[in-house]
């Protein structure tokens, strides 16, 4: 059974409360339930984490081989645009990775339009709300086949 690590970055624990016009009303728990249900259809196991701390995310990514993780689905949130450390961790572990975002980062402020993570990922999906996560998970499953 394939194991996929799902990483939710900073402030995503506030989904459903924060900037609903940008991020919608769906909570992180609801996203996790949707991902878990979707994964069951394909016989994959998810390891889901959320952290507001860059170093913790780097440590989690660094342990993927030890934890027998086959792929990463990541919403690095604000770290998308600032974290060379997360970018380097994704590159170092060299397993299939898909970056996702609820909002379309390319239609937002200039500083949000650059992803440091995308160049070391298989792909990026943004702008489709919760569906970004589900499309990203489907992509990862397809890559693992």
CA angle 143, 63, 29 (to 5 degrees): 70
**Residues whose CB falls within 8 Å of the CB of residue 67, separated by 6 or more in sequence, listed in order:** 3, 5, 47
SS3 of residue 45 by DSSP: strand
The Cα–Cα gap between 74 and 95 comes to: 12
Residue 106 annotated to the active site:
no
Please give the structure tokens belonging to residue 52.
């507001």
* DSSP output for 109-126: -GGGG--SSGGGSSEEEE
Residue 42 annotated to the active site:
no
User: Choosing from 8, 79, 101, 133, which is the catalytic residue?
Assistant: 101
Judging by beta carbons within 10 Å of its beta carbon (0-12, 13-18, 19+), is residue 111 exposed, middle or buried? exposed
User: Choosing from 8, 23, 79, 133, which is the catalytic residue?
Assistant: 23
Which residues form the catalytic set? 23, 101
């Amino acid at each position: 059974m394939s194991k996929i690590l799902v990483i939710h970055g900073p402030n995503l624990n506030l989904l459903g409360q924060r900037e609903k016009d940008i991020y919608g009303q769906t909570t992180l728990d609801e996203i996790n339930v949707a991902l878990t249900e979707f994964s069951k259809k394909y016989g994959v196991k998810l390891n889901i984490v959320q952290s507001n701390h860059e170093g913790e995310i780097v440590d989690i990514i660094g342990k993927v081989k030890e934890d027998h993780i086959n792929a990463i689905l990541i919403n690095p949130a604000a770290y998308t645009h600032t974290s060379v450390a997360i970018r380097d961790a994704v590159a170092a572990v060299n397993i299939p990775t898909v970056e996702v975002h609820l909002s379309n980062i390319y239609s937002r402020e200039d500083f949000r339009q650059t992803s440091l993570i995308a160049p070391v990922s298989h792909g990026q999906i943004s702008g489709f709300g919760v569906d970004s996560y589900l499309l990203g998970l489907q992509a990862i499953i397809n890559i693992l086949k």
